[in-house]
């Protein structure tokens, strides 16, 4: 699928838009979701341009999932949660709203998931939770 380099996450990666970053290296960025479906909702994205998981280079996918695991452990430690939903939407038909591949880490139960990308969260609270996760990494 053609990659639109003006999508929100591409702009965050270029530093054109702000984000509460919890982890960054040469290949991956993790940051807080601004419309969290639970406290601690974090996104992990490969820096390489790809719209969906199906488009992503397998080596980049393999590396990204290692960071997904690392950030999930930090969420568990920082927020003392027992369960984390890992969600990955590939394609608008699946509900994907931002066309740069990403993994959602949502500390909740699948039975508690709310509306997707529906309501802006409290930025001060999101920032504070992000700092806790960052400190646990
Ligand atoms: P998708 O629907 O593509 O699987 O998920 C996109 C996610 O990005 C949603 O959970 C939505 O809340 C989040 N999101 C949308 N715009 C922004 C933004 O500008 N900054 C951040 N940090 N998250 C965003």
Q: Is 87 a pocket residue for ligand 1 (Cβ < 6 Å)? A: no
Q: Say which CATH topology domain 8-136 has.
A: HIT family, subunit A (3.30.428)
pTM of the model: 0.97
CA of residue 89 to ligand 1 center, whole Å: 11
Task: Look at residues 29, 5, 32 and name the one whose alpha carbon lies nearest to residue 131.
Answer: 32
- According to DSSP, residue 106 is labeled E
CB 23 within 8 A of CB 134: yes
Per-residue pLDDT of the chain (137 residues; tens, 9 = 90+): 799 999 999 999 999 999 999 999 999 999 999 999 999 999 999 999 999 999 999 999 999 999 999 999 999 999 999 899 999 999 999 999 999 999 999 999 999 997 888 899 999 999 999 999 999 99
Mutate to test the pocket of ligand 1, among 52, 68, 97, 126 (most ligand atoms within 8 A of CB): 97
Which residue's entry shows tokens 């939407």? Answer: 89
Q: Is 8 a pocket residue for ligand 1 (Cβ < 6 Å)? A: yes
Q: Mark whether 116 is an active-site residue.
A: no
Helix (H, G, I), strand (E, B) or coil at 27: coil
Q: Which of 100, 102, 111, 116 is catalytic?
A: 102
């Amino acid at each position: 699928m053609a990659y639109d380099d003006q999508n929100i996450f591409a702009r965050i990666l270029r530093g054109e838009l702000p984000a509460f970053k919890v982890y960054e290296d040469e290949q991956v960025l993790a940051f807080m979701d601004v419309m969290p479906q639970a406290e601690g909702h974090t996104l992990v994205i490969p820096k390489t341009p790809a719209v969906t998981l199906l488009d992503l280079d397998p080596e980049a996918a393999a590396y990204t999932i290692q960071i997904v695991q690392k950030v999930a452990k930090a969420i568990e430690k920082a927020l003392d949660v027992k369960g984390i939903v890992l969600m990955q939407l590939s394609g608008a038909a699946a509900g994907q709203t931002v066309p740069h591949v990403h993994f959602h880490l949502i500390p909740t139960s699948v039975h508690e998931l709310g509306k997707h990308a529906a309501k802006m969260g409290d930025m001060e609270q999101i920032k504070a939770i992000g700092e806790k996760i960052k400190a646990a990494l």
